[in-house]
Each structure stands twice: as C-alpha cells, then as structure tokens.
Amino acid sequence: MSDKIKDIEIFLPVFRRTNPPYDSSFVLKLEGQTVVRVITESGAEGYGMTFSDPVAEYIQKVLKEEVVGKDALACEDIWSAMFTQIRSSGRKGAALLGMSAIDIAIWDIRGKILGQPVYRLLGGTNRMIPAYASVGFLSMPDEEVAEKAVEYTEDGYKTLKIKVGYDSGRNIRADFRRVEKVRRAVGDETGVIIDANGVYDAATAIRLAAMLEPLDISLFEEPTHADDIDGLARVRSMTRIPVASGENEYTRYGCRDLMLARAVDVLQCDVTRAGGFTEMIKIAALAQAFNVKLAPHFWPQFSAHLLSAVPNGLYLEVFPTPKGVPAGGSIIKNQPSVIDGFYELPDKPGFGLEFDLEYLSRYRA
C-alpha cells in the first residue's frame, strides 16, 4: 500500500556574513541553506537541502502542488511532474534548486520506508569515500592558504583545492605564485586542484595552464565561464592538466552538452542544483558512457551515497572544520566524519542524517 506525501515544509536558516569570503567572481554574502522537510501520511519524513537562493517561493507556488498526494516511493513520477511544470518558467536556476531539494528529501524517505541507506538502494557497499579539502578562497592570503594546506595534509587529506583568479582573472602571475607556494608547502605527493570559478577567457586559461603544468596540478576547475563550453573545450585541448566543470550545470541535458563538446575530463555536477538524486543517477551513468569521472560539487552528505555505488566516482568535496568534520552548522546533529581523507557514510536508513528540527523551526519559511 502506497504512502502518499502529505506536506512540504521549508526552513531558511540563512544569515548575512560580516566578513564575507570571495572567489574570483563572487562574494559569498550569505551563509546558510534552504532546507525542505517532506512528510507522508504515515508520518515518515525526509530532508533535503540546497543553496540559499530564492527557491522557497517557487516551491510553495509551483512545485508543492505537483508533489503532495503522490506516492512517496515514486521518485521518477514526482520528478517528471515537477520538471514538466517548470518547462516554461525555470528549466535552470531557482526552479531546479527547489526540485533538487525536494527530490533529495524523497530519496531520504525511500530509504527510511525500505529500511536501507540510500547507497544500499543503489547497490553500493563502500562506506569510506575519498574526499578532498577545499582550503582557501581568494580572500584568504597566500601564506594562510599554504598553512591550512599543510594542516589538512597532516589530517590525512591526499588532495586539496585552492582558488585562483586574482584581479578578476587579469593577474595570472599572482595566481601562479599562489599555487607554487601551496605546492612547495605540501610537497609532491599531495594532489592540488585549482578552481578559477569561470573567471578566465580561454586564451588566458591556456597561458596559466602552461605555466602550472610543471607543478603537477590534479584538476583545473572551471577555467572558463560555465556557459562558454567552446572555450572550455579549447582549454582542454591545449593542456595536459585534466579539466573539470559542471557545478553550475543543470540536468542530464546540460551535462550531455559538456561531454559531447569534449570539454571535460571530470564532471562536477551538484546534486542540489542539477536536479536532485534522481537526476544525478542518470548523470553518473551518462558520464560513465563517455568515460568521464564524477567528482560532485559540495554536499558530501548526499553525494557520498552516489559515489559509493558508481564505478566512475572520483572524490568528494568537503569544507573541513578544525576538527575535520564537514561544514553544516547546527542543521545536522550527526555530521559524518572524515578519517584520513575518507568520508565515512552513516549506515542508517535514508541519508543517515539527524536534522535538528527544533533549531530549524526557528527559521520556518
């Protein structure tokens, strides 16, 4: 007998930062997430999250009606109903963020109803997923980034990521010095990823890549703007450094276009942006067909379950705290640990996370 969805609640624990960090193209003025709680008629509940973009109103006015009343296990039907509804008003952007959060919550419910962790529902068995540490925004001085990089390698991380793109991408010599300083600090055995957040044009990215090749860079992430797929493909064709992108792409269709253009070696789609877990399963399979690795952007609490089950998973992104636990604030009470550079999946139904409803209730949308 089906268990139908009764309601969707939205929480917005979002705060304005006093000293916002920044990368090459964006200032992170807000801290926090949009959290959804999907509740079924039997009382089962699942939680999903996405960024603090203005998605709450879209969920309330457009998506909720397509979800309430449907079988909680029918994730494909629910996804298709939501995607059809946003066809003319938001096939990318806030609409997909709202869809993603709801879909994640539904997969959480699926696991709880069936009594299995999500990674087990997908056929995964591995609970220790390799992770890399995102070390420093451009707002963090080079010396401090190098110190943090050493600290995280001592915590067991085998790969680190740092931001580049000084002066809006116009000072690649400063970028080179930043990367060189980190490489000298951590030695030759640690992987180093650089992330430009799409700030360069293709010609500039190619010049920087040529300068950095002797430093053995693991990935060059988003060297060009997310919509400049042709430029991204040019960069990839002109460097030996593997090229990564996709965190700002949406659905299997956007990821297909990246791979048809031969623009990426590693796909970095974001489960809370690209369409949720239902869509990320398709994206992972599509990437496998193109022999492309998958290294999801952020949100290890969800992405780790996917990487447990797919053969082309590379590693997760985490933002460590001094204790080595991924960021999450007060929202999640049992944040999984990172041990010697491996993210430990909880062996509990759904995503295995305990959300603090008492805390979230203060921020009900």
Q: Report yes or no: 230 and 223 within 8 Å, Cβ to Cβ.
A: no
What is the rounded (10 degree) CA torsion for 307, 116, 330, 103?
70
Distance CA 206, CA 231 (A): 10
The answer to whether 17 and 28 have CB atoms below 8 angstroms apart is: yes
Kindly state the tokens that stand for 183.
Answer: 């490489």
Instruction: Judge whether 225 counts as a catalytic residue.
Output: no
Distances from the Cα of 207 to the Cα of 199, 230, 234, angstroms: 14, 17, 12
Q: Enter the tokens of residue 297.
A: 């952007």
**Residue count of the chain:** 365
Exactly one of 163, 252, 297, 305 is catalytic; name it.
297
Distance set, CA 105 to CA 72, 111, 190, 252, 265 (Å): 10, 10, 36, 20, 30
The CA distance from 164 to 77, in Å, is: 42
By three-state DSSP, how is residue 98 classified? Answer: helix
List phi, psi (to 5°) of 140: -95, 125
In the 8-state DSSP scheme, what is residue 215? G
Which residues are marked as active site? 297
